[in-house]
Each structure stands twice: as C-alpha cells, then as structure tokens.
Amino acid sequence: MLTTPSNSFSFVAFCLILPLLVLTAGTLSAQEITRGAWHRLADDLEIKRVVIKPETLFAPELLFVRTNLKNYRVGVVRAEAFGTSGSSVKQLCQKSKARLGINASFFDERGRALGLIVSQGNLFQGIHSGGETLTGVFQLTRAGVGIVQRREFRPEAAIEAVQAGPRLVTAGNAVRGLKNISSYSRRSGVCIDAKSRLLFYVSSGLVGIGIGQLQGVLLDPQIGCVNALNLDGGGSAQFFLSDRLPNAVPDIKEIDIQGSENIPVMLGLFMK
C-alpha cells in the first residue's frame, strides 16, 4: 500500500547525516561513493549501501543485503499467524525468530494482503491474475529461490511464495513499458543474481527513488540482478536486520528501517 512514510527521528537523522559525511569526506570519487563496496556482516551475509548521484542532502540511498542461503532459509511470515492483521517488520522478526525481514505483499485499505501467499507449503491465498502491478511471484521450491511471472507459477512446487510487482528485471534486462517509471517513492524488493544469491533491498531518503533509477542500480555489475521483483513501497517499505548473527563483525548493530504502515506479510531469513 503506497502512502507517505512517517519515520522515526533516528532514521531521518541517518538519511540526513550520511550524505553530509559523504560530501565532506573529500577522499572518494563520485563513482566510488555511488557504488561503494560489499562488506561482510556475518557468515553468509553481506551488506552494501548505494547513494544515487548527485550526492546531496536529498539523495536517495539503497541498502542491499546479500546471502548465498547456505546458513539461512527464506520464509513467508504472516501477521495472522501471531493473532494480528498487521504488524511492523521488526515485531514480526521478533515473534517469528527471523534474523532479517522485509515487507512483502501489497494490501487493501483494510490491511488485507493481496495476491498469492504460500507459507511452509500451505496455500493461504491463491494467485491474483488481473492488473499490471502484481505481475511477479517470489518463490522457494526444492530447486531453490526464484522469481517468475504469475502465469508461470506452479502451486504444487512451492514451499514459500508471495505475489508482488511489478517485475523490474528479467533474464538480466530491465523490464520495459512499466507505468510511472519516473515517479519517486520509497522502494523495497528482492532480486537474484547470476550466482543464485538472494538480495534484499530497501531505499531511504527524503524523496525516494524512481523505478527507472532503481532498475539502473539493480543492473549495475556490482549488484548484478538477473531477476528482480518490486515489493510494496511508500509507507509500507521497511526492513529489519538483527544484531544477533552467528560470527558477526565486531560491534554490529541492528538495522531498523521503519515504515508508517503495519504490514500483513513479510519475507524473513531464518537460521537453518
């Protein structure tokens, strides 16, 4: 559900202070600032921050977390499983014991999730076949994780699945013909790279990011998305990463990017 985000002071301060630090550092080129580097967080988890040019106080930033899924499994978490119609990603992580979480399904004005939901092999909602938004399905099958067009989804193979959209990248190419490609909003999503690694991403900043800009970042060689799916954005976009990770880097801190909306469904990472 797309709404105007209302973020905590700490998150707004983060968005404001980081570009100031970047601009006053004086040692990095614009290209290096934009691309950054991947940094190890813990076993099987890496993080990367990308600041969109030009680097200003209003520049959007994308946070990426990447995993090989060697130590983790991905799961669909429903707020209803914990007796509520909606919750924050952080609260759902704490209740489900997920180490990482990101908002997933779109939802209606009553907070009810839209589209396909499969969790632990159980089908809770069927595929939504109409419209130009919910065009993709993120799924986990015995073959691994994947992003498919909704008409290609096979329910008998799915262990975990959630429907969202639109798809942004397919077979290493930007999806063309998307509507409102230049409109700015906070974004969240998932992608899979050429090494079958799973990437979660969420944007911050005061004005958000356009779909066209986002596609450019996802296709950057240092991100390398082969398939990518947009999840719900605006006030729904939120992300949480626990500071309790096996063999984590020293002084690791939790990451809590908040949204203004409670959400009905999230994608979570769990220890195997």
Query: What is the pLDDT at residue 179?
Result: 84
Would 30 be classed as within a structural domain?
A: no
Would 57 be classed as within a structural domain?
A: no
> How many Å apart are CA 138 and CA 13, to the nearest integer?
33
Give 51's strand partners: 61
> How many Å apart are CA 239 and CA 191, to the nearest integer?
15
Q: Give the CB-side neighbour count of residue 16, counting CA atoms within 13 A.
A: 7
Query: What is the pLDDT at residue 35?
Result: 56
Query: What is the pLDDT at residue 96?
Result: 98
**Token couple for 158:** 């799915």
pLDDT truncated to tens, each residue of the chain (272 aa)? Answer: 533 333 333 433 333 333 332 322 222 233 333 556 899 999 999 999 998 776 556 677 899 999 999 999 999 999 999 999 999 999 999 999 999 999 999 999 999 999 999 999 999 999 999 999 999 999 999 999 999 999 999 999 999 999 999 999 999 999 999 987 778 899 999 999 999 999 999 998 677 898 998 999 999 999 999 999 999 999 999 999 999 999 999 999 999 999 999 999 999 999 99
Phi-psi sector, 269: left (phi>0), alpha (psi -120 to 50), beta = beta
> How many Å apart are CA 197 and CA 212, to the nearest integer?
23
Would 158 be classed as within a structural domain?
A: yes
- Provide the number of structural domains found in the chain: 1
DSSP secondary structure letters along 88-146: -HHHHHHHHT-SEEEE---B-TTS-B-S-EEETTEEEE-----SSS--EEEEEETTEEE
Would 95 be classed as within a structural domain?
A: yes
Would 247 be classed as within a structural domain?
A: yes
Would 39 be classed as within a structural domain?
A: no
Would 100 be classed as within a structural domain?
A: yes
Kindly tell me the burial class for residue 256, based on how many C-beta atoms sit within 10 Å of its own C-beta (0-12, 13-18, 19 or more): middle
Would 25 be classed as within a structural domain?
A: no
> How many Å apart are CA 236 and CA 258, to the nearest integer?
9
| Residue ranges making up the domain that contains 167 | 67-271
φ and ψ at 68, to 5 degrees?
Answer: -85, -10
